[in-house]
Amino acid sequence: MHPMAGHLAPVWFSVTDLEVVSGRGSWVTTADGTEYLDCSSGIAVTSTGHCHPKVVAAIQAQAARFIHAQVNVYRHDLLQPLADRLAELTPAGIDTFFFANSGAEATEAAVKLAKQATGRPNVIVFSGSFHGRTHLTMAMTTSKTGYRAGYQPLPAGVFVAPFPDLVGVPAEEHDAVVDRCLAAFDHLLASQTAPSETAAVVLEPQLGEGGYVPSPPRFLHGIVERCRHHGLLFVADEVQTGFGRTGRMFAVEHYGVEPDVIVMAKGIASGFPISAIGASAELMARWPTGSHGGTYGGNAIGCAAALATIEVLTEPGFLDHVVERGRQLTAGLREVMADDPGIVDVRGLGLMVGVQFAVPARVAAVQQHMLREGRVITMNAGTTGAVLRWMPPLTVSEAEIGLALAAFGAAVKATAG
């Protein structure tokens, strides 16, 4: 049991038993003054680090002007600037936005838009994906049974196609594995959900909770081609991959594909709960006025935090820094892998890097060692928890990555054999 358990629902699982009192940059501090290097970023959220001065100032200033200006009642003066900024940043074709509060809500909103816009009932998702904790997004989530157990039956109309697993597969066989997954997708359309009944395909460009697995380019392109061919909307769930996490503003840019709908949350506002979906004005116009909404969507402080976050993420050289730190991290992790047969893969885009171990228990042991001896906070991912995932703040320094790698190397050595 977590030491801070009184009056708090035990439904929250705990990655650490820390109680933190402040955060700054890549670090969080506990009541006794101990500092921890936060390589979780609060699950890939604190993109600009904890309490970035520009984000703090924007939140403070906005709190004094307006906290809640309910969007149906009146519109505050940051909604339009945020939509304008997102239109500049998101992939071509996306220029119109709806705001919500969490990733799950935004994913649900994307599905609701797709259903209304196409008049079709079903969606296709991929094995290993995670889209949230509401009933619909649980139905779309197959990264772990723990997310669904005890809640079934879940909403119908969600069909799951296989996502390629290339770990341990020789390079010359990768295309064949991908092609089998694409054939299975075609089979799904022929056997379970006809294109005329399928509104959208929802895909994480890099699986997040499912184990930090980037889509093979051949796979992503094959899926997008099929969406175009059958008139299915292609929805990119960039809740975890968006806002610079992969070294590009959005992960789809690595693949040169343009989604019909993009789902955004987490890193958008450095920790303030705001999420969004974007689509073309033409697609959004097919979503009848009043058929969706929410009390808090487009919250004024959330918009201020998002605008300040975007200002930081778009500073010259910022994304180059993410790419550089990602390379440093990946190279360092691969060096450790070379000396330990218990590590079977290091992969990922930018600062979204997974280390897959042969045995899940080893991940837990490595995490514990890093926390206690190195004061480094990490999380796991993957269906069995066999992946140690790295998602430090995008502002992480070279020296901080060096510290994290040293703690990882020591933990891997200490837990070997």
Part of the chain binding ligand PLP (CB under 6 A), chosen from 168-176, 233-241, 323-331, 376-384: 233-241
Q: In the complex, what is the shortest distance from the CB of residue 43 to ligand PLP, in angstroms, rounded to a whole number?
A: 6
* Contact indicator for 117, 234 with CB cutoff of 8 Å: no
28, 117, 161, 239: which one contacts ligand PLP (CB under 6 A)? Answer: 239
Rounded distance, CA 75 to CA 110, Å?
22
Per-residue interface string for the shown chain with ligand PLP, residues 192-231, x marking contact by CB under 6 A: ------------x---xx----------------------
Rounded distance, CA 104 to CA 270, Å?
17
Rounded distance, CA 246 to CA 237, Å?
14
DSSP-H helix ranges across 195-317: 217-230, 281-284, 300-313
Q: In the complex, what is the shortest distance from the CB of residue 234 to ligand PLP, in angstroms, rounded to a whole number?
A: 15
37, 86, 104, 114: which one contacts ligand PLP (CB under 6 A)? Answer: 104
Per-residue interface string for the shown chain with ligand PLP, residues 114-143, x marking contact by CB under 6 A: ----------------xxx-----------
Q: Of 408, 390, 261, nearest to 325 (Cα)? A: 390
Per-residue interface string for the shown chain with ligand PLP, residues 240-269, x marking contact by CB under 6 A: x------------------------x----
**Identity of the residue, 278 or 374, whose beta carbon is nearer to ligand PLP in the bound complex:** 278
**Identity of the residue, 208 or 214, whose beta carbon is nearer to ligand PLP in the bound complex:** 208
Part of the chain binding ligand PLP (CB under 6 A), chosen from 80-88, 114-122, 237-245, 397-405: 237-245
Rounded distance, CA 393 to CA 273, Å?
17
Interface with ligand PLP, residue 102, by CB under 6 A = yes
Closest CB to ligand PLP: residue number = 103
Rounded distance, CA 79 to CA 284, Å?
16
Interacting residues with ligand PLP (CB under 6 A): 43, 102-104, 107, 130-132, 204, 208-209, 237, 239-240, 265
